Amino acid sequence: MVRGRCTADMDVIVLKKSSAVAACGAGLIQQLLQTKPAAVLGLATGNTPLAMYQCLITACDNGDVSFRDVTTFNLDEYVGIDAGNPASYRSTMKRELFDRIDIDQARTYLPESDAGVDPSATGPAYEEAILAAGGIDLQVLGIGRNGHIGFNEPTSSLGSRTRIKTLTQQTLQSNSQYFADSGTQPQVAVTMGIATILDARHILLLATGVEKAQAVRDAIEGPVTAMCPASALQLHRKVTVLLDDEAASCLAMRDYYDWVHRQKQRFGKEFTAC
């Protein structure tokens, strides 16, 4: 269980296994909901957060957390795919989380473009909806192998807002596993922008597996550059990065992060991880 509060800084916490990353991330969300039951969560799809969502489902089943008053905004959604399509992010979120917790699904938002709606109108409307909900308290992020966050591909403006983005070949290849017929895979998405993400009051970045190690290093220790959109997180005041050993394997400052973490645990005045 997570105790204490998070620092106004980037906390890099390396845990042995991906299961510990999931449990620690879920603990952070539970901690937020204890203090703010009507929190606004920013959520992500992809493989990485699934185990964390499972921990939250279990906690909800056990009565340890409730999502009754929570509002959620997902990072992104494909353009040109019906929300009912099993590969849409709406369907994925329903399957992996929303249908299995006590959330009011009328308050679960994705930047969807219904048939007949001009997708370029979706972005500004989504930004307004986030503002109207009071802004995002905690934004969950995965990271692409190319350093993308949401579908902000390399070269995305660090000042970008929710908009249409064309996916890179690498992202299309990574996500082709979700489409039986590659002809039906959308090549364009609506994604929160990097500036939208940076508006969240707290950001929780999860990364597991060796295939993310270089992107994690570029994001945390590289220069702030549009070539690695996740590096923009260095500009945010409150980011928690949860990594397993493999995802942390390229970090030059790994020993220092562990040392800082031990100091925080010892003095107990800052975020204390699982």
According to CB under 6 A, which one of 34, 47, 173, 176 is a site residue for ligand PGA? 47
Say how many C-beta atoms besides its own lie within 10 A of residue 17's C-beta.
12
Measured from each CB, the residue nearest to ligand PGA is 46
Alpha carbons 182 and 148: distance in angstroms, whole number: 22
Nearer of residues 119 and 144 to ligand PGA, judged by Cβ: 144
Say how many C-beta atoms besides its own lie within 10 A of residue 121's C-beta.
10
Of the residues 11, 76, 199, 246, which is catalytic?
76
Of the residues 148, 202, 236, 261, which is catalytic?
148
Which one, of 8, 1, 13, lies nearest residue 258 by Cα? 13
Query: Is residue 202 flagged as an active site residue?
Result: no
Tokens of 78: 């494909």
Of the residues 11, 77, 127, 146, which is catalytic?
146
Nearest approach in angstroms of CB 105 to ligand PGA is 23
Alpha carbons 149 and 154: distance in angstroms, whole number: 9
CB 76 within 8 A of CB 192: yes
Alpha carbons 85 and 68: distance in angstroms, whole number: 26
**Contact code string over 111-150 relative to ligand PGA, x by CB under 6 A:** -------------------------------xxx---x--
According to CB under 6 A, which one of 48, 72, 108, 160 is a site residue for ligand PGA? 48
Query: Is residue 153 flagged as an active site residue?
Result: yes
Helix (H) or strand (E) holding 10: strand 10-15
Nearer of residues 90 and 148 to ligand PGA, judged by Cβ: 148
CA 109 to chain centre: 14
According to CB under 6 A, which one of 25, 27, 42, 46 is a site residue for ligand PGA? 46
Please give the positions annotated as active site: 76, 146, 148, 153
Chain residues in the site for ligand PGA (CB under 6 A): 46-48, 142-144, 148
